[in-house]
Amino acid sequence: MPITATYSQLVMPDHINNVGTLFGGQLVSWMDLAAAKTCYRFLKGTKAWGAVTKVIQEVEFNEPIEAGEWVTFNGTVTNAGKTSITVKIDAFAESRQEEKRLACTARIVMVAVCEDDQGNFIKFEHGKTV
């Protein structure tokens, strides 16, 4: 079974850009959080402290999102390397009247980290497979 996680956000007025729709940088930030949550779940049972973002790839904004809509991010681990974890994120927007629509997608590479003796975060070999 692939590891998945879901994260939702309500789009509030302070998330809006100057053309009246959800600011893309805000959406990417939420996708990054959804990837972090997916990795949190993937890394359960290991000694990793967490995972940090290494690369945000293939971000595609398909549809504008409006204030007042809910956005649900579905994260799925698609690949696991020695320290890396690749997460596919699908962002679905939902208005009061219509069905969910796939508004944005991205692929995010995270790297598992742990703390060394000096308190610095370093790469961690998680030992997990997809």
Q: Could you say whether residue 111 binds ligand COA (CB under 6 A)?
A: yes
**In the beta sheet, which residues pair with residue 6?**
74
Which amino acid is located at 51 in the chain?
A: A
Which residue number, 54 or 100, has a Cβ lying nearer to ligand COA?
54
Of 30, 100, 47, nearest to 69 by C-alpha is 100
Residue 11 or 110 with smaller CB distance to ligand COA: 110
Residue that is written with structure tokens 């509030």 in the block:
12
| Contact between 115 and ligand COA per CB under 6 A | no
Determine if 55 is a binding residue for ligand COA (CB under 6 A). yes
Pairing of strands 121-123, 4-10: unpaired
Q: Which is nearer to ligand COA, 4 or 53 (CB)?
A: 53
Beta-sheet pairing, 84-94 with 4-10: unpaired
From the list 22-30, 47-55, 59-67, 88-96, the region that binds ligand COA by CB under 6 A is 47-55
- Measured distance CA(72)–CA(43) in Å, rounded: 22
Interface with ligand COA in residues 75-94 (CB under 6 A): 81-84
Q: Which of 72, 109, 114, 128 binds ligand COA (CB under 6 A)?
A: 109
Beta strands in 1-130 (DSSP E): 4-10, 50-61, 70-80, 84-94, 101-115, 121-123
Contacts to ligand COA by CB under 6 A: 52-55, 81-84, 109, 111, 113, 123
